[in-house]
Amino acid sequence: STSWQQPDTPPFLRIEGVVKRFGDFVAVDGVSLDIYRKELFCLLGGSGCGKTTLLRMLAGFEQPSEGHIYLDGSDMTDAPPYERPVNMMFQSYALFPHMTVAGNVAFGLKQDRVPAPEIKRRVTEALDLVQLGPFAKRKPHQLSGGQRQRVALARCLIKRPKLLLLDEPLAALDKKLREQTQFELMTIQEEVGITFIVVTHDQEEAMSLSTRIAVMDRGQIAQVGTPTEIYEYPRTRFTADFIGSINFFDGKVTGREGEALTVDVPVLGISLQVRSEIELPPGREVCVAVRPEKISISREPLDLPNVLRGKVRDLGYLGNLSVYRVELDGGRLVKVSTANTLHSTEREVDWDDMVYLGWRSSAALVLSE
């Protein structure tokens, strides 16, 4: 998914300047997005950022106050839901409790008066796709949460939509099952070759599922990119902070040395070196951002262009990772994490140790917004 490249075909879905107002309140504030065929695209954002409202406009359940939605070249902005080649899977799944799995999956085709033999064939096909063939005669209450989710997916896919919208598809599942189901969802999406748009507030889910992510903030798109781009090159403080954990140091540009900008950071009493292709003039207020896993921690001096000294205040052992909070002179805390490749008895750094923290100039980002 990280190798996504913009196809040279026209976008499959074009969202153009879409605004949604509820009275005076602007829930979606001028969103433009191009989404391509076969993408697994995530709308990611915190509660109330407008992601569900945007999804509902794509489905036709809400009318945009402004803007246009084009699907496969046609203007769908005013089309009712049933005229769109779009299906939506709801967070609640909304399965009919009194119907069997097969009955639930067949429901949409029956309503469309598809002939019985074809329904039968397509139900078998859809249940095989989600690996629920043997469960066709069960009722929803006889299924696990993960299986119910797959019934809901089969019920959407059987109608062969061109675009499938999924609102928090994995929210009802526990962590372990969610991870497994993420992979299943990706496999199924690849197999059916339909464009998926997934709404989620879970950044790990978005990172592991998506071809691309749109990070939303107060009705607007903060940034669009592949998971790698969003994580490694966030453009704003908001995106950097929303995805993963990060340390920010506010400062001022003082100059440039080769590939690196020099940024004076008053709270640290030192200058940091940050690689930046963008030219920022001396005096410009910026923020240096560095992720915990990009920082080396050691009791021995480090030969790196950015070095701080501090004392280990907290040490969290997460099995695969250790996370540290290191207190600098003046009380500022820096988050550091290390991969536990060594056995715990060989751990070098412990509580209350005086340590050096260091990173390369290419390991940090300079953010001016």
Binding residues for ligand ATP, per CB under 6 A?
22, 25, 27, 45, 47-53, 201
Mapping DSSP to helix (H, G, I), strand (E, B) and coil, where does residue 247 land? strand
- Toward ligand ATP, which CB reaches closer, 54 or 158? 54
Instruction: Give the SS3 label for residue 224.
Output: strand
Smallest gap from Cβ 93 to ligand ATP, in A, equals 16
**Nearer CB in complex with ligand ATP: 53/211:** 53
- C-beta of 198 vs 287, nearer to ligand ATP: 198
Q: Is 132 exposed, middle or buried (0-12, 13-18, 19+ CB in 10 A)?
A: buried
Give the whole-angstrom CA distance, residue 214 versus residue 223.
Answer: 6
Reading the block at residue 350, the tokens are 């412990």
Token code pair at residue 158: 């059987």
Q: Is 146:181 a contact under the CB 8 Å cutoff?
A: yes
Closest CB 60 distance from ligand ATP, rounded Å: 15
Strand-pair partners of 28: 20
Closest CA to 126 of 91, 150, 96: 150
Nearer to ligand ATP, 63 or 180 (CB): 63
Q: Which residue's CB atom is positioned nearest to ligand ATP?
A: 52
- Work out how close the CB of 22 gets to ligand ATP at its nearest, in angstroms, rounded to a whole number: 3
Cβ nearer to ligand ATP, comparing 48 with 301: 48
Nearer to ligand ATP, 29 or 353 (CB): 29
Least separation in angstroms between residue 172's CB and ligand ATP is: 14
When the beta carbons of 135 and 205 are compared against ligand ATP, the nearer one is 205
Interatomic CA distance for residues 59 and 220, integer angstroms: 19
Q: What is the dihedral of CA 134, 135, 136, 138, to 10 degrees?
A: 140
- Give me the least distance between CB of 33 and ligand ATP, in Å please: 15
Burial grade of 179 (CB within 10 A; 0-12, 13-18, 19 or more): middle
Q: How far is the CB of 360 from ligand ATP (least distance, A)?
A: 37
In the complex, minimum distance from the CB of residue 25 to ligand ATP, in angstroms, rounded to a whole number: 6
Burial of 83 (C-beta count, 10 Å sphere; 0-12/13-18/19+): exposed
b/e per residue, 287-303, with b = 16+ CB within 10 A?
bbbbbbbbbbbeeeebe
To the nearest whole angstrom, how small is the minimum distance from the Cβ of residue 145 to ligand ATP? 19
Decide whether 25 or 82 has the Cβ nearer to ligand ATP: 25
How many residues does the structure list for the chain? 369
